[in-house]
Every structure is written in structure tokens, then in C-alpha cells.
Structure 1
Amino acid sequence: MALTINQLPNRIITHEGCEYLFFSGTSYLGVAQHPHMQALLGEGVAQYGLHFGASRNGNLQLAVFDEAESKLALNVGAPAALTTSSGMLAGQVVVDWLARQVGPKAVGFQAPGTHPALWHPLLTPQTIDLHKHEPLPPDVHPAYILTNSVDAIRSVLFSFNWLSQLTDVQQIWLVVDDSHGLGVLNGGRGIWPQLAEKLAHKPNVRLIVTASLAKAMSLPAGVIFGDPDTLAAIRQTAYFGACSPMPPAYADAFCHADRVYAQGYDRLMGNIALAEAALLPSGLFSHAIGYPVFYTDHDELYPYLLENGIFVYSFAYPTPADKANTRIVISAFHEPQDIDNLAIAVRRFAQQHPHLRPIRA
């Protein structure tokens, strides 16, 4: 059952006169409706208007984009950053450029569940479950590897220990979609610092990280992190040059929102700790400690919680033909009482369904 509403969800949504606690969505840091962020955005709109629909490679440049990109790179510890109008576009710009670097016959690996943003018709990688310690094929050296930074559906963090198996004798492009890690993993810096540390002794592996900024960061944009030479080359592609940028008012708001993001992160981590103590004893969830998602394969939980005034994520993704995924998402929006009410409903569900097997992480 899908609900249609007329307001942006935070901790509560209203549908046909009934209120529901909202434990879904991807606004992990609760920034989308933060009053100070909205005030900063208002100031940005006053200066830059609603949008700037011109190429980033045009002969008139807005300094705010460079400022925001420098700040994004500094925040995650990457050498450089390049913004786009969406996370999907960030991924597609990269793989379209990559396909022309490696050629149509290049050997590539792709982890299961890799986001469609990193799919491209000219790239035909082998699917290998890298993150479940599946050994790499002997004597097969990939020219590129595509993967997500985290399994955000089933709440699984990845160690990336398999990077040590990669050859040192040829260049390898590692492209990672960090849409569900940026703002949350590694103190909010996302996956970049974790990967940079593991690749410190593998200079032949060139790292590119893409991400949607529309999730934890609550910005209608995407970002590409990498070395300056790679990003300069990507910037010169027709795919990038022909696209409009993110709205400059949002770039300006981001540049002045350090306190908003810091507060959101602290509040999110506190809420996750409360939820872990309250939900994990039920045995119904797969959950990575410190991550805001609690996954269950007991899809019966969704209609039960809905009947009890709680809305959680449960729909087929990424296509309607895929299995429905039921998960609870914690955010900085939530109050401690919200989490208590959720836990009470989950315990009642577990008591009424004693036949359900506990989830194995």
C-alpha cells in the first residue's frame, strides 16, 4: 500500500487525517527541513535566484561552485570534487568517460547491487561478490571495478579488504557510488578516507567516488571525488558540459551550513544508538552498527506497523520486478519517544509471530 501525501516528510506524515511516525526516506541528517538551513537557502535564492541553467564550461562562471567543490573535497579528504545536478548524472558522467578510457573489450568487475548510476551499455563487467570474500579469478586483472560503498538496503558495511588482491602491474579504475555513505560513514566523511588508506600502497589503482547529495546532505545535486587531472578530463566531456549545474543557491547554503550538518550527525548517531538498543533484541533485523538502516526479510512487518501508525520503507527496488525490501530508517528528525513507540510495536509484532526466524547478520 502506497500513501500519497502533500507535505515533505520528517518524523511525522499525515495521510487522510491520520498521523504516522515516519521511519523511511534518506534524509539521514534531518537537514531538509532544518530551519537554519532553510534560512541559508533563502539568502542564497536572494543572491542567485532559483536556478542558473547554463553550462559549467561557459564563458561566465559562478565562483560559488568552486567554493562548494573545494569545501566538499576538504570535508571528505579527497584531492578534488566536481558537482553535477544529480547523483545519477554524477555516476553516468563518470562511466561514460570511463568506457572511452578502457575500451569495449576491457575486463571489469562489478559487485552485485551496484547502483544503476554506474551502469553503461559500453561496459560489460563480470559480476563478482567482492564484498563476501569471493576470490578474484586467477590471472584475470580488471581494468575497472564498479561497486557501492555500502549495502544500504540490507544494512551491510563493506571492509574493502579485497583491494589487497589486486595486481600492482597495471592501472585499475575503482569507481564507488557513495550516495548512502556520504554524511554518515567515517564521521560523515563517507567512504573516501577508508578507501584512500587501503590504496595508499596501490598507486596503480585510481579512485573515483560518486555520490548523490540529495540524501544525507539534502542538496539537489551530485558530486564526483577524484584527483584533479581526472576531474579536469571528465569536466571537458560533452556529457558534463551539456548539463546544467546544481542550483547555486544550494551550493551557497552548503558553504555556510557546517553547524547544521554537525548537529545533524551528532543527533543521528544518538538516535541510532537508541534504536540499536531497542530494536536489535527482537532478532528481526540485519543491521550494521552505527548505520541508520535496520533491514528485515519479514515483509509482514510493514502492514503491521502501518496499522499501528508507523510508516517504514517497503517496496521493490530498483525495478518493480525486484523483491520488496522492508527496512526501518532512523534519522536526525526522530525524538527518543518516537523510537520507544517503534520498539513497542516491533516487540508486539515479534510476540504475535513467534514462528518467524531471527535474521542472521
Structure 2
Amino acid sequence: MLIEHINRRLRELDATASRRRLRETATPCGPNPRLSDGTDLLSFCSNDYLGLANHPQVVQALADGARRWGVGSGASHLVSGHSLAHAALEARLASWMAPHIPGAQALLFCSGYMANVALMTALGDAQTTLFADKLNHASLVDGALLAKAALQRYPHGRLDTLERQLQACSTPLKLIVTDAVFSMDGDLADLPALLRLAEAHDAWLVLDDAHGLGVLGARGHGALEHFGLHSERLIYMGTLGKAAGVAGAAVVAHPTLVEWLVQSARPYIYTTAMPPALAHALDQSLALIEGEEGQARRRHLQGLIARLRQGLERLVAMHPNLALPPSDTPIQPLLVGSNPRALALGAALQARGLWVPAIRPPTVPVGTARLRFTLSAAHTEAEVDRLLAALGEALQELPA
């Protein structure tokens, strides 16, 4: 009965062109992967925004870390798995956020998903209301649903609605929860305005900066540096598997909040700590991000973003059934409408040697299926031009 039920559900996915499929790569992360079947592609799929996932210094740091620390932590942080490598990485991240969060302390997690679920469930008790943007990442949504707090969602970016919700709220504790860079549209939340609302209504601002850390800010310190924000009310989550190129995540906040996470966050307490070798590699990655090389990579990345957007804008002008939402980040979505149309366009690009994901519901709202281009500092201008030329050809072939 169970197998029959699941097979029926899978056929339903097939009927709406919604089934996802795995692909195996046979090369390290980079713009030019080879698939397991030997196919060579030019990829615009990765979140490796600064091209650090295969950076020689980061690779060497991981090897050095493995020689010093071995390949596993052996236990959760609270048992015996917390090493000097973890502590050093937490100290570096706390120093990054110290200008923005008074007394900032950092706490490592194995993934951004776990960090967000930990935040929502540890802070979202019965005395709390969570106010969440409707386009928040799934990890924030799932964490909010698991929490004991009341949940109110506001339409994407509609701070007027959020303000009314805050005014009407009677719970003692209030948490505004938002992505900094929204992962499917690439737009930035109005964090200064959100912080003003938090201060005006005695609320706290929980910020998921998964796609901003390393990319935004003069030194790559993320969205708080980009906007120049400073407040005790900020609770920051940064992912370390995207622009930082490795794995894991960290929450940075007031020391009392971090201590409460240590004592109560189940995804922290009941999980084996990340291997200390990864923490060792991440320390090198963060050093690159805030140094001269990181600055140069961000400048190059911004040039690629501008080049891609100019080309996409020209194509949208020629094909009015497409839409290009505003985004100044490495995430550039081209909305094409239906699932079959998005899949067909992605397949046409792959036939030309390009790998671009077709993003479909439920990841995005129905009717907004899209191609999602993500840029890396490892890309070249010539590769962006190749993408635009191939996309122009594919659009000419696609039925209106």
C-alpha cells in the first residue's frame, strides 16, 4: 500500500513536470564541471560565489586540518567534539560582527538549515510571535512551523503589513524573521527599515544571510556591513557553504542568546560537531574573503553581474513573455512562467553545453517557474557572453 501510494504521488509530480532528478559530477566544484557520463558543461548553478570551493589555499588548509585534527570530531560540541579549530573560527566570525552586534558571540552549526531550525525552535516559545516574510527560505519556514510560537507571515517586502501586525501583537516577545538576500529572486530585504520597526515595536530581527556573507560589504562581512547596521536586537545567521566555499553555518548574536542556544537548541545539542578540519579550512577561507584577493573577486563578480543583467534585459525586451526581477546580487532569475517551458529552455541550454537549473513550484510560486542563473567570481566575461548567446538562440527556438 505504501509503495503504491508513493508511486501515485510520483506520477502526479511527473504530470506537472515537477519531479527533480539528481546529476552526478565527476570534477571539483567550478564553472566547468564534467558529469559522470563524461559530458562537459559550463555551469551557472553553483552558490560558490567567490570561487573558493576549490581554491588551492583552502584545499591546502583542509588537508593540513585533516593531518592535525583527523577527519571527524567524534562527538557533539557539548560532549567532546568542540576543538580549538572550532573555537578559533567562532572567534573570527564574532569579530566580523562585533561592529554590528554589541558583545557578539558566534556558535557553529553543521548547516544553515540546522542553524535556522535551531533559532526558530529555541527562541520561538509560547510567549513569542514570529513575523516572517512569505519568501523566506524553507529552513526558516520549517523552523517556524516546529516552534511553539505564534506565526504571522507578511507578503514579500510589505513592511506596511508587517507594521500593522506588530502593532496588533500582544505577546511579550516578537521576532521579525527574514532572508537578507532572497534565494530565488536575488533581491535584498530592506534591513534598515526592518531594524527600525524592530526598535519601534520592541522586537528582535533574525537575519538569514546565507547568500550575503562573503559577497556583500567592503570586506565581505555580509549584509550588516553592507547596510552599516548596529543593534543589540540583531540575530545573524551566516552560511559557510556558499561564498565561503566549504560547509556549515554560524549564528552570531548577543552572548545571552548564544548561551541559550547552547542550552536548548536541539539541532546543536544532539548533532555531532562538524569535523574540525572543516573549521580549520574555513578560517583560511574567511581570511581570503576579507583580504585583497577577496576584494578583487567581489569587484570581478560585480562586473559579471552587470554584464549578465545588461544582456538579459536585451533579451527580455525582445521576448515580452519573460520577466527579469530586480537583483544586484549573483542570483539572477529569468521568469518564464510554466514548468514545461522552464524545463524546455533548460534542456535547450544543456544541449549547447550550459547547465542552468529550472526552478519550479513548490520552490517558487505557481506560474513563476524560472531559470536561475548564479554567477561566481570564477566565471569569465567570455563565459557570460557564451551564456547570453546560447540563451538567445534557445529562446528563438522555443514556442511562444
TM-score by length of 1: 0.85
- What is the CA–CA distance in structure 1 between the aligned matches of 2:122 and 2:83, rounded to whole Å? 25
- Is 1:314 the counterpart of 2:358? The answer is yes
- Is 1:5 the counterpart of 2:27? The answer is no
Any conservation in 2 of the 1:211–1:223 contact (CA below 8 Å)? yes
- What is the CA–CA distance in structure 1 between the aligned matches of 2:362 and 2:112, rounded to whole Å? 15
Q: 2:205 aligns with which of 162, 166, 174?
A: 174
- What is the CA–CA distance in structure 1 between the aligned matches of 2:395 and 2:78, rounded to whole Å? 57
Tell me the residue number matched to 1:227: 254
**Residues 74-130 of structure 1 deviation map (CA, whole Å, 9 limit, x = unaligned):** 234442211111111111221121123xx1x63331111222322232233111126
Tell me the residue number matched to 2:283: 255
3-state SS, counterpart of residue 4 of structure 1: coil
Any conservation in 1 of the 2:25–2:33 contact (CA below 8 Å)? no
Q: 1:231 to 1:238 in 2, by over 3 A?
A: closer
The answer to which of 129-138 and 206-215 deviates more is 129-138
Structure 2 alignment gaps of length 5 or more: 1-19, 317-321, 337-341
- Is 1:295 the counterpart of 2:339? The answer is no
- Is 1:132 the counterpart of 2:126? The answer is no
Counterpart mapping for 1:11-50 below 5 A: 11-15=31-35, 16-50=37-71
3-state SS, counterpart of residue 297 of structure 1: strand
Q: 1:317 to 1:191 in 2, by over 3 A?
A: farther
Q: 1:133 to 1:238 in 2, by over 3 A?
A: closer
Tell me the residue number matched to 1:157: 188
Any conservation in 2 of the 1:279–1:346 contact (CA below 8 Å)? no
3-state SS, counterpart of residue 301 of structure 1: helix
Tell me the residue number matched to 1:87: 112
Q: 1:244 aligns with which of 256, 260, 272?
A: 272
- Is 1:191 the counterpart of 2:216? The answer is no
Q: Report deviation, 1:61.
A: 4.6
Q: 1:316 to 1:279 in 2, by over 3 A?
A: closer
Q: 1:167 to 1:184 in 2, by over 3 A?
A: closer
- What is the CA–CA distance in structure 1 between the aligned matches of 2:160 and 2:399, rounded to whole Å? 35
**Residues 202-248 of structure 1 deviation map (CA, whole Å, 9 limit, x = unaligned):** x6xx2211232111112221110111221122112262233222211
Query: What is the letter of the counterpart of residue 24 of structure 2?
Result: I
Tell me the residue number matched to 1:358: none
Query: What is the letter of the counterpart of residue 223 of structure 2?
Result: I
Give the CA RMSD over aligned residues. Answer: 2.8
Tell me the residue number matched to 2:373: 328
Any conservation in 2 of the 1:313–1:329 contact (CA below 8 Å)? no
3-state SS, counterpart of residue 110 of structure 1: strand
TM-score by length of 2: 0.77
Higher helix share goes to which structure? 2
- What is the CA–CA distance in structure 2 between the aligned matches of 1:304 and 1:246, rounded to whole Å? 40
Q: 1:137 to 1:252 in 2, by over 3 A?
A: same
Q: 1:282 to 1:174 in 2, by over 3 A?
A: same
Query: What is the letter of the counterpart of residue 49 of structure 1?
Result: G
Q: Percent of aligned pairs with the same residue?
A: 25
Q: 1:140 to 1:321 in 2, by over 3 A?
A: closer
- What is the CA–CA distance in structure 1 between the aligned matches of 2:387 and 2:201, rounded to whole Å? 52
Tell me the residue number matched to 1:305: 349
3-state SS, counterpart of residue 83 of structure 1: strand
Q: 1:13 to 1:194 in 2, by over 3 A?
A: closer
3-state SS, counterpart of residue 25 of structure 1: coil
Q: Report deviation, 1:190.
A: 1.5
The answer to which of 86-95 and 274-283 deviates more is 274-283
Q: 1:166 to 1:255 in 2, by over 3 A?
A: closer
Aligned length: 346
